[in-house]
Chains A and B, each alone.
Chain A
């Protein structure tokens, strides 16, 4: 995190109202926060507090009702392709090989794939620990491996910002932990500005530089917490007293929020 760089993402008093069959639903109210350059920000919160809506507004897939989102100092006015998205489910193309899935964004955007794009796919496969799986079909891969492909796909166009919407929530506990450590390694190699949405307190604390806790209906930023442990982090960081204290605090906070 460099202090000279302007924030990558800035939310200015943002609000979002959805029209539903039963009238209007206020999903977000007065949301303001910054994400610094190459910061890893985790967003925690109860279901239905508009966490995913935030991501979609950063990507320009959804326009706020009031306020605005700035990315690299410019207000977001439409979909932008300099952002990578990792979804909750891998959502790979079942007919395309792993490699073709990774180069899919390029093919979809430009209509062709260069040998350099293929090379890059191979590099990314190695990076996410799937060397030699390029010719397989998604069907032949486990859920965790499929999500690794999803991450590689999001990184293929080398975006500065990566949005991750509960990317590990469909995985079993052990795979989830391993994926967390892999993510730490990946971003240590190549830092990115990351907005990471999760339900898991320990995951948020382990991965992020800062954790935002949202409160629900309408969603707004409840509190923010700096993660007090240094990088590089690894399995031993899980036992760090400072981290344990933070996770305990966060858990209490979420419990009272859910109960309220």
Chain B
């Protein structure tokens, strides 16, 4: 999300640049009265461009605009709530649920998503390291991984639930299954992307192999690992919801399913928005960890 934002921003400012032939647009826009009327639209467009270049403004404006338009359309055409409930209706049902009930559902989904995500990291990073070290293991494991990844998780979910019974465990396993593949592939790519000169340096120093892994290859893989983590964290929420669809007695996914079965569509939409917010927050959390712990691993435009 944020990557996309920061990438489009410089583009926007570039397109804005050809417009001002006159000097210092920001200052004279505020202080001096406009001498000619035909100059007004040009200047206004310019200040709008500058406003949109402030961090968060573009996103916020888009969000508010969409919600307003949605509300307007829903009211103007009197769209039935089972088709598309108005934002105000969604908000009302959100408030009606009550804080504690939300907390129970959110915690249930969040717990499974995070534990599944954690398990995926714990499995895939060592797996990628092993595959990196051994060509034979790589050749034997890779097809298996592809098969696991190619099988629709939604289809295996009921089987896993039956096999592992009730509780968090089957749901965590489902989440891990859906999350781990990008992590393995990306980590393995990162471990192999280390400059060959450094590997030669390591060999010439006759350093132990594990130190080559921990001091050279793993840190070099960090940018790759984080690209995969950003994909995986959103997949983790999907995994948790899929598991809840199959069998659960709590969770935001369960809540949505339950609400639709009762035909309470605004309530289901409220759940949907909670899920989206959860996904976004988790994504931002991963980004924050990368910014704090590995600032050097971020692309230049993000610094």
Contact = CB atoms under 8 A, between A and B. Distances in A.
Interface residues of B, number: 20
B204 A80 contact: yes
| Among A80, A83, A104: residue with most chain B CB under 10 A | A104
Contact of A91 (B198, B212, B296): B198
A61 B203 contact: yes
A91 B297 contact: no
B199 to A, nearest CB: 10
B197 A59 contact: no
B158 interface: no
B207 A108 contact: yes
Interface string B215-247: 110010010000000000000000000000000
A109 B197 contact: no
Interface string B273-303: 0000000000000000000001011000000
A89 B197 contact: yes
A108 B215 contact: yes
B219 A95 contact: yes
B38 interface: no
A60 B206 CA distance: 11
Contact of A95 (B201, B205, B212, B296): B296
B201 A85 contact: yes
A111 B211 contact: yes
Interface string A129-143: 000000001010000
B203 A79 contact: yes
| Among A78, A87, A89, A137: residue with most chain B CB under 10 A | A87
A91 B195 contact: yes
Interface in A71-107: 78-81, 83, 85, 87-89, 91, 93-95, 104-105, 107
B93 interface: no
Contacts of B49: none
B301 to A, nearest CB: 14
A79 B206 contact: yes
A104 B216 CA distance: 10
Given A93-B219, A109-B206, A85 B200 contact: yes
B189 interface: no
State which size class the interface on A falls in.
20 to 34
Contacts of B206: 78-79, 81, 109
B202 interface: yes
Contact of A87 (B197, B202, B216, B296): B197
A199 interface: no
Contacts of A139: 296
A12 B294 CA distance: 48
Interface string B2-45: 00000000000000000000000000000000000000000000
A185 interface: no
A79 B198 CA distance: 14
| Among B203, B204, B207, B212: residue with most chain A CB under 10 A | B204
A210 interface: no
A56 interface: yes
Contacts of B216: 93, 108
A107 B201 CA distance: 12
Given A93-B219, A111-B211, A105 B205 contact: yes
Interface in A107-141: 107-109, 111, 137, 139
Contacts of B195: 89, 91
Contacts of B222: 95
Interface string B183-195: 0000000000001
Nearest to B211: A108
Nearest to B200: A61
Interface in A10-62: 56, 59-61
Contacts of A79: 203-206
B97 to A, nearest CB: 46
Nearest to B201: A85
Given A89-B195, A93-B219, A83 B204 contact: yes
B205 A109 contact: yes
B125 to A, nearest CB: 17
B296 A85 contact: no
A81 B197 contact: no
A131 to B, nearest CB: 23
A259 to B, nearest CB: 32
A108 B206 CA distance: 9
A107 B216 CA distance: 12
18 contacts: A61-B200, A61-B203, A78-B206, A79-B203, A79-B206, A80-B204, A81-B204, A91-B198, A93-B198, A93-B216, A94-B296, A95-B219, A95-B222, A107-B215, A108-B212, A108-B215, A109-B205, A109-B206
Given A79-B205, A85-B201, A93-B219, 15 more contacts: A56-B200, A59-B204, A61-B204, A78-B206, A79-B203, A79-B206, A81-B204, A81-B206, A85-B204, A104-B215, A108-B205, A108-B211, A108-B215, A108-B216, A109-B207
Interface of A: 56, 59-61, 78-81, 83, 85, 87-89, 91, 93-95, 104-105, 107-109, 111, 137, 139
CB-CB nearest 9 A-B residue pairs: A91-B197, A87-B197, A109-B205, A79-B204, A108-B207, A95-B296, A91-B195, A79-B203, A59-B204
